[in-house]
Amino acid sequence: MKMKRLFLFQWLLLLLLFIFTKTSISSKLHKIPRLTPLVENIIQDFNTLSSSSIRILPKGFETYYYIQTLDHFNYGPKSYKTFKQRYIINSNYWGGSNSNSPIFAYLGAESSIDGDPSSIGFLTNFAPQFKALLVYMEHRFYGKSRPFGTMEEALKDEDIRGYFNSAQAIADYAQLLLHIKEKYSAQKSPIIVIGGSYGGMLASWFRMKYPHIALGALASSAPILYFDNITPQNGYYSIVSKDFKEASKSCYRSIKKSWSIIDKIASRKNGLSYLSRKFKTCSQLRDASELKDYLDEHYSVAAQYNQPPIYPVTTLCGGIDGAPKGSHILDQIHAGIVAFAGKRPCYNTNTTPSETGLGWRWQTCSEMVMPIGRGKNDTMFFSEPFNLDEFMKDCKKKYGVSPRPHWITTYYGGHDIKLILHKFASNIIFSNGLRDPYSSAGVLKDISPNLRAVYTRNGSHCLDILNAKPSDPEWLTMQRNTEVKIIEGWIAQYYADDLKSQLPHQN
């Protein structure tokens, strides 16, 4: 059983790495490690997989389409154009409109929602307890919610591309949720929005922007503080390095030493050919950065999704440390990749963007400017600081418009978050696992009694909202139970307030 799990995990991670590599804008452009709760959320973008293996909804889930407004913030003629937004409903657990049972709404992020009903287990695991109606909503421009053609066609259209942003997306969710309330005669059913990673950011922002629609939000692994230099650039890679160092100091040292060796060999005559053979790449390496970025992505994915019972960081380091005694350091590194990704005829270091990658590329080149980088010797990685001027020039060259690096904090906030949010925000759970590199930009301390930080020391990216398993460690079960208890409190208070409002007014 353990070997079967390992093989499945390697297969899923290989696909994630394939698409993770696709999302890198280029070796020269700023790279944002992929924001996604789980592997299954993006497997559907890998077009060589059969659709039947990933697109069949579990029993009880039904797909619908809502005629959505293209532009929620303008009254020009083009603003009234519409597109079909996909959403999925499961009413099997719902107590019905007369019971005012809650609605759990999952906010889709930078991928299709095909795999979410079966993979985001928090909703289905706790729906019977709450008698909740389950809703999964797809983010505009992803999956089957693309206005006007393919992602590539939309991104080439300067006018259409401008509607591809987070503010429009959460406005979509607001309009759609009101439609669902009307459709199901659920006017008094409280809504809890749930999201992970980028979707977790959307969930927290949704609660702040639309408190009249969502009673509360569970924002899992939401790095809302990785904007406008609130978090140090090297926050992400510092935690990746810490994860590896805790797993094996010798593994950590080998990785740290390998970068200069790769550069030295690559600079020699036929050095790239030698490295291509050493790492069994599927095509000849073009430069040292191609191999270094490939390794960087493996280490980052291993740390970000370092979840039980496999613990991929331990698996990868096991390969490095388990190489035959006296092995060349690059043979050790390659052995780690084989242990992590599985033994294959060759390893693909040169890929092209998927639709998801293309969409996320635009989002990071417009508003989602997350200055993730690292200096010299402050992590186990090679130096690659984030340079805003260069990044803006590269994005301007590609899209004809410059990014707005300060817009997220202008529109949603972020600076002095404790001082500001405790005055006006409420009912948000910021959940994190401290092994997740993105936790470096998460909210890790309670801001107020109703703005809670729930974290685990050994947790990974969005682990709390994934399917519960019998093998889950006690600390993970406790994290989920804490989140459920908080949500129960919100809903109980909502019912009490509603009842009180119906009592005759007394002078």
CA angle 191, 194, 200 (to 5 degrees): 135
Percent of the chain as helix, strand, coil, to the nearest 5: 45, 10, 40
Q: Please indicate whether residue 267 is annotated as part of the active site.
A: no
State how beta strands 103-107 and 216-220 pair: unpaired
Q: Please indicate whether residue 461 is annotated as part of the active site.
A: yes
**Which residue's entry shows tokens 């696992």?**
433
Residue 368 Cα to chain centre, angstroms:
13
Cα separation, 254 vs 502, in Å, equals: 67
Catalytic residue among 101, 145, 166, 197: 197
3-class secondary-structure state, position 138: coil
State how beta strands 216-220 and 191-196 pair: parallel
Cα pseudo-dihedral 412, 413, 417, 419, rounded to 10 = -110
Q: Going by C-beta distance under 8 Å and a sequence separation of 6 or more, which residues neighbour residue 98?
A: none
**Which residue's entry shows tokens 């985001």?**
120
Catalytic residue among 30, 298, 334, 461: 461
Q: How many CB atoms lie within 10 A of CB 388?
A: 13
Q: Of 286, 299, 317, 232, which is closest to residue 259 (Cα–Cα)?
A: 299
Asked whether the beta carbons of 222 and 428 are under 8 A apart, the reply is no
Catalytic residue among 116, 172, 436, 464: 436
Cα separation, 442 vs 424, in Å, equals: 19
| CA-based end-to-end distance of the chain | 68
Q: Please indicate whether residue 464 is annotated as part of the active site.
A: no
Q: How many residues does the chain have?
A: 507
Cα separation, 48 vs 485, in Å, equals: 42
**What is the DSSP secondary-structure string of 286-318?**
SSHHHHHHHHHHHHHHHHHT--TTT-HHHHHHH
**What is the DSSP secondary-structure string of 430-470?**
EEEETTSGGGGGS--S-SBTTEEEEEETT--TTGGGSPP-T
Residues forming the active site: 197, 436, 461
